[in-house]
Amino acid sequence: MKLMATIFSKQNIFLLLLITMVLMAKMIPFHESYNQYFNLSAFIDWGIAVIFLLYGLKLNLKEVAKDVTNWKLHLLIQSTTFLIFPFLVFISYPFIKDSEYFNIWLSIFFLASLPSTVSSSVVMVSIARGNVTSAIFNASVSGIIGIVMTPLLMSFFMNSDSSSSDNNGEIFQQLLLKVLLPIIIGIIFNPLLKKLVTKYSNIINEFDRLIILLIVYESFSAAFVQHVFSAVPSFVFLVLAFSVIFLFFAVYHLTKLLAEKMKFKTQDVITATFCGSKKSLVHGSLFVLVLGIADDQKVLFLLPVMIYHSFQLFYVSWLANRIAKQEALRVD
């Protein structure tokens, strides 16, 4: 219990640091002229590549291979993450596509297209006494599938102008150099460096958080410098918050219903609902930079992800502990 309390306190600190970065961007925004002293964008670019390199090095290949046979559970989780979740947002597209709120809709669709989280999914499933092995498998596989699926889903609604082919080529190049290639290199050297990476996993996790914080700071700095928020009505934030929380409950309960209809064991139902309803702030922050999203729109795309991340962290941690207590009473 002390370990779990430590994990959640660190997560809470990280959320406070995210808020701090937004406040810093407001009070001390990073201007382009500062690049002559420290090139923040270049540092973030290299940081993104390193994160995905380390992701390949950290991947537990034995756990992935061991749990392949539980294919029905894996299929439900990945279908929820990359098909059901985006579809729930897509059904409103015909009513939004020609309106002034299209970019707001697209930012929520971006959230829906992201892969699941890794660390928090596994921790939450463990607390709730779910199938931890399958959680590890699906959290790991989700990130790899997301490299293809997230850009693919977003490509249907982005770059609709005459220069779309050039933009798509540049986006593909960015994905290849910053995401796919580092992961492949990491997987190749996984057998040699896995123990070393595991040994220093705490430091590596802090580096991941640092890059995310810098991405948030840079994006919000640009937004404040360009006066983006002055053009965004307050109700937009309310719409985003309501939409992402509604999405969470819709996906969670739909996944639970499907898992029960498929006659999954209780452990697998917990894993399906927790992994299927999660979205990754790490991937969201990184894909904002590699999908060719305009600078004045980056904050709009980050907001739903940050709101969802905060909500899923606090609510699901409470839910996981509640389920664990219920399961303990049943055993007794």
Q: What per-residue confidence (pLDDT) applies to 3? A: 46
- Residue-wise pLDDT for 16-49, tens only, equals 887 888 889 889 888 877 777 888 888 887 887 8
- Residue-wise pLDDT for 82-129, tens only, equals 999 999 999 999 998 888 889 889 999 999 999 987 666 776 787 788
**Is the pLDDT score of 156 beyond 80?**
yes
Q: What per-residue confidence (pLDDT) applies to 6? A: 47
Distance (Å, whole) CA 127 – CA 313: 13
Q: What per-residue confidence (pLDDT) applies to 228? A: 63
Q: What is the pLDDT confidence band of residue 9, given thresholds at 50, 70 and 90?
A: low
Q: What per-residue confidence (pLDDT) applies to 260? A: 93
Supply 34's token pair. 């500062």
Average pLDDT, integer, range 160-186: 64
Q: What per-residue confidence (pLDDT) applies to 164? A: 45
- Residue-wise pLDDT for 220-277, tens only, equals 787 777 666 665 667 777 888 899 999 999 999 999 999 999 999 988 999 999 989 9
Supply 321's token pair. 């502990």
Closest by alpha carbon to 109, among 326, 293, 314? Answer: 293
Q: What is the pLDDT confidence band of residue 153, given thresholds at 50, 70 and 90?
A: very high
Closest by alpha carbon to 309, among 207, 240, 210? Answer: 240
Give the CA diameter of the chain. 66
* Burial of residue 187 (number of CB atoms within 10 Å: 0-12, 13-18, 19+): middle
Angle at 228 between CA 224 and CA 232, to 5 degrees: 130
Q: What per-residue confidence (pLDDT) applies to 229? A: 65
Supply 145's token pair. 């599938």
- Is the dihedral angle over the CA atoms 277, 278, 283, 284 positive or is it negative? positive
- 53, 183 contact by CB (below 8 A): yes
Tokens 């406070």 -> residue: 16
Q: What per-residue confidence (pLDDT) applies to 171? A: 58
Q: What is the pTM of this model?
A: 0.74
What's the chain look like in SS3? CHHHHHHHHHHHHHHHHHHHHHHHHHHCCCCHHHHHCCCHHHHHHHHHHHHHHHHHHHCCHHHHHHCCCCHHHHHHHHHHHHHHHHHHHHCCHHHHCCCCCHHHHHHHHHHHHCCCCCHHHHHHHHHCCCCHHHHHHHHHHHHHHHHHHHHHHHHCCCCCCCCHHHHHHHHHHHHHHHHHHHHHHHHHCHHHHHHHHHHCHHHHHHHHHHHHHHHHHHHHHHHHHCCCHHHCCHHHHHHHHHHHHHHHHHHHHHHHHHHHHCCCCHHHHHHHHHHHCCCCHHHHHHHHHHCCCCHHHHHHHHHHHHHHHHHHHHHHHHHHHHHHHHHHHHHC
